[in-house]
Amino acid sequence: MAIALTHARTARRAVPPSRAALAVVLLSAALITGCRQDMHDTPRYEALEESDFFADKRAMRPIPEGTVARGNLREDDVYYTGKVDGEVVHTLPAQITVDKALLDRGQQRYNIYCAPCHSTLGDGNGTIVQRGYKRPASYHDPRLRNMGIGYFYDVITNGFGQMPDYSAQVAPADRWAIAAYIRALQLAQAGTIDDVPAADRGVLEGGAPAAAPEASHGGGAAHD
């Protein structure tokens, strides 16, 4: 369109044709170079880009079934399934050490991926459940309190009932961290005042930490 306009204008002003032609060429060149995006969009794929080469239009290729990344053969049944001979394990696999870092990681991952339904307390009344999703069992049910820790790993990996699997969203190490944190939630909800170190009990009863004298208490019912 720019070219056509320039033609019209040059004709009216009766500029010599050679100079008019030069102007048109220069102007067009300027306009065209201004619009080129070759360097912005080089012929290579970015993450999740559409491809016109593959039939499913995905530049990122799905991994063929049975592919094993070098050094990632999942031979360790306990670690990768949470089960031994079809029975869930009751202890964490040997690779996992229970420490503050593991539980912190578990809490963080739990709050991201599990809390929307299971709630931050683990009672199964998360925001998604309040919006109509089938309510999951509370972790504080005797059935789940007595379940081996491998069960939680297995459910995160494969889903259970209405719960979809989270194998794509949560890596194996994080599944164990979450399972350990669920145990911590269970202990916390069933805790009694006797589980609190003597020095910290004052905090729960409204006093100052450590400095408070050992108060007498019945124990049992008081928990946060």
Partner 1 sequence: MSQIFPRSANAIVRFSLVGVLLFGGLVASIIGMSMRSDYVTGANSNVDQPVQFSHLHHAGGMGIDCRYCHTSVEQAASANIPPTKTCMNCHSQIWAQSPYLEPVRASWKTGESLVWTRVHDLPDFVYFNHSIHVKKGMGCETCHGRIDKMPGIQQKSSLQMEWCLDCHRNPEKFVRPREAVFTMGYEPEGDQLEVGRKLVQEYKIQSLTTCSTCHR
> Which residues are near partner 1 by CB under 8 A?
39-42, 44, 46-48, 50, 56-58, 111-113, 116, 127-128, 131-134, 162, 164, 168-169
Q: Which is nearer to partner 1, 110 or 152 (CB)?
A: 110
Q: Which residues contact 161 (CB under 8 A, 6 or more apart)?
A: 134, 136
In sequence order, what are the residues at sequence separation of 6 or more whose Cβ sits closer than 8 angstroms to the Cβ of residue 78? Answer: 84, 89, 93, 94, 150
Question: Quick one: 20 or 128, whose CB is closer to partner 1?
Answer: 128
Q: At its nearest, how many Å lie between partner 1 and the CB of residue 4? A: 25
Amino acid at residue number 60: M
CB of 176 to partner 1, least distance (A): 18
The smaller minimum CB distance to partner 1, of residues 114 and 196, is found at: 114
User: Which residue type sits at 129?
Assistant: V
Which is nearer to partner 1, 56 or 214 (by Cβ)?
56
Q: How far is the CB of 102 from partner 1 (least distance, A)?
A: 17
Residues counted in the chain? 224
| Residue 91 vs 120, nearer CB to partner 1 | 120
Spatial CB neighbours of 120, under 8 Å, sequence gap ≥ 6: 111, 126
Q: Which C-beta is closer to partner 1: that of 58 or that of 140?
A: 58
Give how far Cα 105 sits from Cα of 54, 100, 127, 152, Å. Answer: 39, 8, 22, 16
72: tokens are 């990632």
Closest approach, Cβ 70 to partner 1, in A, equals: 18
Which positions ≥6 away from 84 have C-beta within 8 Å? 77, 78
- What DSSP character marks residue 114? I
- 136 CB-near residues (< 8 Å, 6+ apart): 117, 118, 124, 129, 161, 162, 163
Minimum distance from residue 150 beta carbon to partner 1 (Å):
23
